[in-house]
Structure 1
Amino acid sequence: MDNKLDYMRRELVDIQGVPLFWSMVEAWSQVESFESRPDDLLISTYPKSGTTWVSEIVDLIYNNGDTEKCKRDAIYNRVPFMEFIVPGISNGVEDLKRMQSPRLVKTHLPVQLLPSSFWKNKCKMIYVARNAKDVVVSYYYFYKMAKIHPDPGTWEEFLDKFMTGKVAFGSWYDHVKGWWEKRKDYRILYLFYEDMKEDPKREIQKLLKFLEKDLPEETVNKIIYHSSFDVMKQNPSANYTTVPDFDMDHSVSPFMRKGISGDWKNKFTVAQYERFEEDYEKKMRGSTLKFRSEI
């Protein structure tokens, strides 16, 4: 593959004011016209909010807890990333077209950019939200290891970019609020990363109810075990170690880094924390959405 370095560390390009990878923008008509199917299940998150975690849980639910079936392929092939298109390397839209129903579809798009067929077909959707301070820390390390992103710069510089929405998939604040509002009108199960860490069984029961699935308790316990951070971190079909080093350099930072709540305390200075909180309060004012920064 001669062009493997051509797409690395390139600047983001805006679509309707949302910064995305240049290759997605070039292929935007494919994304926009994506044809969902009524039995598709959409898994939507802002990056670094538990996407792979909930994807693995749902794939386990769909396969009645059969862990061997869930090792049939890497998670990014079992749950294709719809809008992720890089010429000659990946095309989520085409991958999904080839998949049999029922499909699991991953997206990081804010509500206003989601292909309209999902709303038209009234697809079920799961949204997972995570507190902003843990997201920005995780995103910083992800930017460093996943080279399709622009260079993150210093932690201080990246924190500024995050606060102003100048990162891939745009403003965290707009993203979580947009999906929160949309849940009033569509079949959206809105989950919180912190709740999943605190009581995975309770949150998996919510998923089962939403998906109208009934599994015996022993299967649920098996799903909890196999979707735990430590087990997934060791699972090549879930931990992204099958991605080539030139794309994701796990020696810089593993894809599955810590998987905890409250890690932001190890990264934020007092001054950064105070500035962030003041800005956060302004941006989230008026929203009924409430987050926990630790559990």
Structure 2
Amino acid sequence: MVLMSLHAGTSLLQEVVFLVSQGADPDEIGLMNIDEQLPVIEYPQPGLDVIQVIYMARNPKDLVVSYYQFHRSLRTMSYRGTFQEFCRRFMSDKLAYGSWFEHVQEFWEHRLDSNVLFLKYEDMFKDLGTMVEHLARFLGVSCDKTQLEVLVENCNQLIEQCCKSEALSISSCRVGVWRDVFTVSMNETFDAYYRQKMAKSDLSFDFYL
């Protein structure tokens, strides 16, 4: 089992998946070494045998804000340019991991494969119950209605903890954070580019909740 998110809340996804699969206490998650059981595919592990993949996609406007903050937080080779410059590099596919648009559409095409679970980051805040139910089914976790409700509540508690502990000046975990950063001009340019790159795909995102 590996996770793929291209910096769309990788750590949060990892902890939610671990909680659902193990029934762990959300207060204890931070004390556990979950990397061994749930490796992230972006960080190769020796001898990793890819059997199942959980992929999480996030709307690209929020993602580029989070990605910018991630680059700014790096102790080595930390990015010191403006967000506008960073966003232009994102749209020009000049950041690490290549084109987000190609990456997300390639996995979307495999969303019906039995060994792939395609999730959207925004669903953790819009419809957590359905997302946890899908996760449990994919992970082979058997639970009745009451047990599912407990899982959903625990996941909700975990998500709230992660968002409250956000150390950055802008809480990059919330949906719609891009509205605090994008100028009108940047938003218009990004929208035009987004429509062009996603024109042939039926994949859609929630930019507002």
Give the alignment's TM-score, normalised by structure 2. 0.85
Of 183, 206, 210, the residue aligned with 2:111 is 183
Tell whether the 8 Å contact from 1:126 to 1:191 is kept in structure 2 after alignment.
Answer: yes
> What is the distance in 2 between the residues matched to 1:186 and 1:199?
22
Tell whether the 8 Å contact from 2:171 to 2:177 is kept in structure 1 after alignment.
Answer: no
Corresponding position of 2:4: 44
SS at match of 1:128: strand
> What is the distance in 1 between the residues matched to 2:102 and 2:192?
17
> What is the distance in 2 between the residues matched to 1:266 and 1:67?
30
Shift >4 Å, 4+ stretches: none
Cα drift, residue 212 of structure 1: 1.2
Size of the alignment, in residue pairs? 205
Corresponding position of 2:57: 129
> What is the distance in 2 between the residues matched to 1:183 and 1:105?
20
Show structure 2 runs of 5+ residues with no match. Answer: none
SS at match of 2:203: coil
Matched, 1:259 2:177: no
Higher helix share: 2
Matched, 1:220 2:176: no
> What is the distance in 2 between the residues matched to 1:72 and 1:262?
30
Matched, 1:58 2:20: no
> What is the distance in 1 between the residues matched to 2:132 and 2:90?
30
Please say which structure displays the higher CA radius of gyration.
1
Letter of the structure 2 residue corresponding to residue 287 of structure 1: S
> What is the distance in 2 between the residues matched to 1:232 and 1:156?
27
Tell whether the 8 Å contact from 1:140 to 1:152 is kept in structure 2 after alignment.
Answer: no
Tell whether the 8 Å contact from 1:125 to 1:187 is kept in structure 2 after alignment.
Answer: yes
Letter of the structure 1 residue corresponding to residue 208 of structure 2: E
Relative distance call for 1:66 and 1:269 in structure 2 (3 A) is closer
Give the alignment's TM-score, normalised by structure 1. 0.62
Highest relative contact order (Cα 8 Å, sep 6+), 1 or 2? 2
Cα drift, residue 222 of structure 1: 4.0
Matched, 1:105 2:39: yes
Cα drift, residue 185 of structure 1: 4.0
Tell whether the 8 Å contact from 1:123 to 1:187 is kept in structure 2 after alignment.
Answer: yes
Relative distance call for 1:217 and 1:284 in structure 2 (3 A) is closer
Relative distance call for 1:285 and 1:152 in structure 2 (3 A) is farther
Relative distance call for 1:148 and 1:181 in structure 2 (3 A) is farther
Of 115, 125, 141, the residue aligned with 2:69 is 141
Letter of the structure 1 residue corresponding to residue 128 of structure 2: P
